Chain A
Amino acid sequence: MSYKALYRTYRPIDFHEVSGQIHITTTLQNALKSGKVAHAYLFSGPRGTGKTSIAKIMAKTVNCEKAPIDNPCNECPSCIGIQNGMNSDVIEIDAASNNGVDEIREIRDKVKYLPGYGKFKVYIIDEVHMLSTGAFNALLKTLEEPPSHVIFILCTTEPHKIPLTIHSRCQRFDFKAISTEDIVEKLLEITQKEQIQAEEEALRQIALFAEGGMRDALSLLDQALSFSPTHIRTDDVLQISGGISYHKQQSIAIAIRQMDATKAMQILEELLVSGKEVPKIIQNLIAFYRDILIFKNIGYTEDMSKLLKSDEFERLAKAHSNKRLFFYIDVLSKAVNEMKWSTNPRLHLELALMKMTDDEPASESKLLAELARLEERIEELEKRATTSHSKIELQPEQTKPDVTLLQTESKQIAPQIDAVQPVVEPVVSAISHSEAQEETLSGSLFDDSIMDHIQVDSPIEMSQNISNTYPIEFIEEVLNNGNRQDKMYLQNSWDSILKHNNQSDVQTTAQMMSGGTVVASCEDKIIVTFSSAGICNRLMRPHTRALARTVLKNTFRRDIDVMFLPEGVFQVSSDEFMEKYRKKAPRPIRLTPITNSDLRDVSSEIDDTPIQKEQKIVSEAVRLFGDIVSVKK
């Protein structure tokens, strides 16, 4: 009915069978061979690393009939007796259940009895850190004057809990966690001996799971055998340990990187249905991102699975910047924390995935709005620079008068620029593709098409006549002939403009428009609001506006004219309209023309060709900031 567990069957019976701990076995063997045996040893280290095993081997060696020798012969009656636990000269004590002073005094009392069988009485005290202070003191007395026929071997997983006075009386050996390689080697040995079929990767998974403890590895191997007796495959090990295959991990990572929340959720659903659990999934994912991080910065390391080594993995690594990886790991770690208190961990993982997949597209339009704001700021600063320029005398020695002057000026307006700079830098570098180069994916985020819409404008006279672009008549017409139902319909289907406008010419316009809200419609004309004025200004340019109308036509299959307004501005006009409506003003209701410092008249702006645009951008940057600008391609 029962059998002996693998970890018991394969306990090393001599120094050669010990895995890892070369530094310890060598030292001990040398000492034993020359008969130099200490009376007290302290073995410390993590669990399952061989402390008790080596203690027993030592007990055999010192009492072996062939002593002094460096390895027990395992043939003489003494070795056999100790191996079978039938030799009362080797006494194993578990300190955790015998941690009182009385128990230690009992030991001290009996310690003077000479060994019955061999040369030495060996006391192996396990978990010795569990002794009470009184017990430690009692033990200390014996360690101070140990009888010459006694050897103490103290074992512990927590050496810091042992008083220094004990440390100083023992020869201390620190056991290390057994390396994954060594564990795999042992597992291979065992599977061969037991004639078990097992994939090497499966054994590696077991070794990784064991985290340095040989006993854990062997227990898991036992379990794997019970689960799939004929042939242990990687999938089997993953199944019983709840781990996830690298293939799946890669799939999720790719889906996330491509901002494909749908796919990510689908894979998650698959995993959950197949019995994987949320905490394990997140753990695996964090470990996977960590592996990418390590690979990116160091390369392949020893404890990485060989399965990771693939072109796909390397491509994936290239597609993730360090910053992004930290971000992902951060989001996932936070989710792990939050999950602890939740009855429904799945929710947290779903939200984490949402965060990880949505961040960029949402911020893409935000980024564009950001850019727009920045440009205006730059223009403003430029203007001030030019106006103050005229007041300052030219200095002939300067080779680049404009720039120099501007530099002088720039010192004056430096604080303002400084404020703008942190925001500008990424813009500048974004503009020059460097960040985009760090992450290369098919379909780079910052396409050339976007470039069309980023312009550093030449300084233009601030036109107060925004009515050219934002005629109040348009607004009047829409509000006076407002169709609420149509507005609702348009708003509800607003998201679909992306779907209907995939072509490269309209794609970016559609993207920009998607962040807006339809607030009014009179069927052939609509008003769409945004939170910032910058984006309105851009969209209201004739060329872009025409594209916008195309977008609307593609989506709603009718001609719709559109005006883009900042929320606040619309609110003002709308409020005015409502009030006049209530006061029963004569129809059609007339409104005050719009005045707003952020809006501009863009009615006469022409678009440049791409190359011209780029040149303009670079020269503008240089003009503004001088030598600090470096252009990277």
Chain B
Amino acid sequence: MSELTWNHLSILQKEVFTILENSFSQNRLSHAYLFEGYRGTKKKATAELFAMRLLCLHPKIESRPCGMCPSCKNASEDVHPNLFWIRPDGETIKKDQMKKILAEFSKTALLHQPRICVIVDAHKMNTESANTMLKFMEEPTADAYFVLITEQVDAMIKTILSRTQVLHFKPIARQILTKELRAIGVSERLCLLIPEYTNDFDSAVELANHPMYIEMVDFANTLYIKALAKKESLLLLSKSKKELILSSNETFDFFITMLLVLQKDVYHMKKHLPSLVVDTIDIELITQLAKRSSQSMIEELLQQMLELKSRLRYHINQSLAFDNLIMHLERGLQYGI
């Protein structure tokens, strides 16, 4: 299992794995790493693999754990005595939690192997606990390693940052996410559009399987089709979907994003840039709409959608905003002016 995952992960996070593999092979392992990046970029998985590799009794290639020895089999938290995971106790990681680990690390290991401490949500360390760790990091003992994980690198205390090797985990590229979704059988339009909303693989899968979100993607598509046909009032059409879309800030945000993606595609089409179109299976629809609308109208609609998206975080009358948007869409797409 570990070998497969290592391969897989090293594609998703090429730079990180290059650095780690080189460090292993050159004996240049740092005693403190900070894995930082957005949600869903596989930081925890990498930390686990890193620990496994350090603890593995029979590593295969320089940097990969074998996955078979008792150490690898037990290399999850709570089972391996040399592997420690620290998580926030409530809102913060407290000083006592760090002190315990340091007391542990000031002695030699029970099992004569390296020891790894993984700190999840490291930005939640308060200054006390962070500084408790700092001193240790200045003069670490030979076989102790820290891996800090955070999604908010900006919230990290600077003095810790400068003592760790910071490994940046990139968001999973859109194309890769699309591929991954396709691989698990998600329908094409969803594969293309959902990565526009989120980079987090797990979230994406969740959304792609959620009937509510599937419905919203379809409806956005329908709106544009009907707009082209010019036979029905979009406002009337959207009445039945309104409740669904406005059921939460997230759903509204999602819906607006779906419209935004389509609108952006129309914009790119207008500018004769078909390669930048995201929703490739609806290219006909997009081309038609681009022809009909003037550039300024397309931009205006785009601007409105973006503004609405950012205003969402304030208390606005969402019902009104929704109707407004549909009306503008109607006017803009149907009449092109």
A and B touch in the complex (CB under 8 A): yes
Q: Is A85 a contact partner of B139 (Cβ separation < 8 A)?
A: yes
Q: Is A96 an interface residue (CB 8 A)?
A: yes
Q: Is B196 an interface residue (CB 8 A)?
A: yes
Q: Is B260 a contact partner of A347 (Cβ separation < 8 A)?
A: yes
Assuming the contacts A92-B135, A130-B131, A517-B337, asked whether A362 and B296 have C-beta atoms less than 8 A apart, the reply is: yes
Q: Is A47 a contact partner of B29 (Cβ separation < 8 A)?
A: no
Name the segment of A109-117, A215-223, A305-313, A624-632 touching the other chain. A215-223
State the CA gap A7–B164 with chains docked (Å): 10
Assuming the contacts A8-B138, A226-B23, A240-B168, asked whether A97 and B132 have C-beta atoms less than 8 A apart, the reply is: yes
Q: Is A492 a contact partner of B299 (Cβ separation < 8 A)?
A: no
State the CA gap A602–B309 with chains docked (Å): 48
Q: Is A348 an interface residue (CB 8 A)?
A: yes
- How many residue-residue contacts, CB under 8 A, span A and B? 151
Q: Is B44 an interface residue (CB 8 A)?
A: no
Q: Is A341 a contact partner of B303 (Cβ separation < 8 A)?
A: no
Main secondary structure, interface of B, reads helix
State the CA gap A215–B162 with chains docked (Å): 6
Q: Is B161 an interface residue (CB 8 A)?
A: yes
State the CA gap A48–B138 with chains docked (Å): 12
Nearest-neighbor residue (CB-CB) of A269 within chain B: B276
State the CA gap A351–B260 with chains docked (Å): 11
Chain A interface extent, by class? 35 or more
Closest Cβ–Cβ distance, residue B290 to chain A (whole Å): 9
Q: Is A96 a contact partner of B15 (Cβ separation < 8 A)?
A: no
Q: Is A262 an interface residue (CB 8 A)?
A: yes
Assuming the contacts A240-B15, A240-B168, A495-B295, asked whether A215 and B29 have C-beta atoms less than 8 A apart, the reply is: no
Q: Which residues of A contact B173 (CB under 8 A)?
A: 272-273, 275
Assuming the contacts A47-B159, A262-B271, A351-B303, asked whether A222 and B128 have C-beta atoms less than 8 A apart, the reply is: no
State the CA gap A494–B293 with chains docked (Å): 10
Closest Cβ–Cβ distance, residue B187 to chain A (whole Å): 21
Q: Is B226 an interface residue (CB 8 A)?
A: no
Q: Is B61 an interface residue (CB 8 A)?
A: no
Q: Is B143 a contact partner of A2 (Cβ separation < 8 A)?
A: yes
> Which residue of B128, B273, B303 is within 8 Å of A265 (Cβ)?
B273
Q: Is B336 an interface residue (CB 8 A)?
A: yes
Q: Is A97 a contact partner of B128 (Cβ separation < 8 A)?
A: yes
Q: Is A299 an interface residue (CB 8 A)?
A: no
State the CA gap A48–B27 with chains docked (Å): 25
Q: Which residues of B contact A344 (CB under 8 A)?
A: 196-198, 257
Q: Is B306 an interface residue (CB 8 A)?
A: yes
Q: Is B186 an interface residue (CB 8 A)?
A: no
B159-181 Cβ-contact flags toward A at 8 Å (1 or 0): 10111111110110111000000
Which residues 186-227 of A sit at the B interface, judged by CB distance below 8 A?
A: 213, 215-216, 219, 222-223, 225-227
State the CA gap A450–B176 with chains docked (Å): 49
State the CA gap A348–B264 with chains docked (Å): 11
Nearest-neighbor residue (CB-CB) of A342 within chain B: B309
Q: Which residues of B contact A460 (CB under 8 A)?
A: none
Q: Is A439 an interface residue (CB 8 A)?
A: no
State the CA gap A130–B171 with chains docked (Å): 36
Q: Is B130 an interface residue (CB 8 A)?
A: yes
Assuming the contacts A96-B130, A343-B257, asked whether A242 and B168 have C-beta atoms less than 8 A apart, the reply is: yes
State the CA gap A495–B269 with chains docked (Å): 13
Closest Cβ–Cβ distance, residue A213 to chain B (whole Å): 6
Q: Is A1 a contact partner of B253 (Cβ separation < 8 A)?
A: no
Q: Is A5 an interface residue (CB 8 A)?
A: yes
Q: Is B22 an interface residue (CB 8 A)?
A: yes
Which residues 469-522 of A sit at the B interface, judged by CB distance below 8 A?
A: 491-495, 517
State the CA gap A341–B27 with chains docked (Å): 41
Nearest-neighbor residue (CB-CB) of A96 within chain B: B131
Give how many B residues have a beta carbon under 8 Å from the other chain's beta carbons.
74
Nearest-neighbor residue (CB-CB) of A227 within chain B: B19
Q: Which residues of B contact A215 (CB under 8 A)?
A: 162-163
State the CA gap A61–B161 with chains docked (Å): 30
Q: Is A350 an interface residue (CB 8 A)?
A: yes
State the CA gap A48–B163 with chains docked (Å): 9
State the CA gap A545–B267 with chains docked (Å): 31
State the CA gap A99–B127 with chains docked (Å): 11
Which residues 332-354 of A sit at the B interface, judged by CB distance below 8 A?
A: 338, 341-344, 347-348, 350-351, 354
Q: Is A130 a contact partner of B127 (Cβ separation < 8 A)?
A: yes
B300-337 Cβ-contact flags toward A at 8 Å (1 or 0): 00110010011001000000000000000000000011
Nearest-neighbor residue (CB-CB) of A354 within chain B: B299
Q: Is A94 an interface residue (CB 8 A)?
A: yes
Q: Which residues of B contact A5 (CB under 8 A)?
A: 30-31
Q: Which residues of A contact B26 (CB under 8 A)?
A: 226, 229
Q: Is A379 an interface residue (CB 8 A)?
A: no
Which residues 36-90 of B sit at the A interface, judged by CB distance below 8 A?
A: 54
Known contacts A213-B162, A229-B22, A344-B257; 15 additional CB pairs below 8 A are A5-B30, A47-B159, A85-B139, A92-B135, A96-B130, A97-B95, A126-B131, A222-B165, A226-B23, A227-B19, A239-B15, A240-B15, A265-B268, A354-B302, A495-B295
Binding site for A on B (CB under 8 A): 14-15, 18-20, 22-23, 26-31, 54, 95, 98-99, 114, 127-132, 134-135, 138-139, 142-143, 145, 158-159, 161-168, 170-171, 173-175, 196-198, 253, 257, 260, 264, 267-268, 270-273, 276, 291-292, 294-296, 299, 302-303, 306, 309-310, 313, 336-337
What are 19 contact pairs spanning A and B, CB under 8 A? A1-B27, A1-B114, A2-B29, A7-B162, A96-B127, A97-B132, A130-B128, A157-B158, A219-B162, A227-B19, A227-B22, A262-B271, A272-B173, A338-B310, A341-B313, A344-B257, A347-B260, A351-B302, A354-B302
- Closest A-B pairs by Cβ, 3 of them: A96-B131, A97-B132, A492-B291
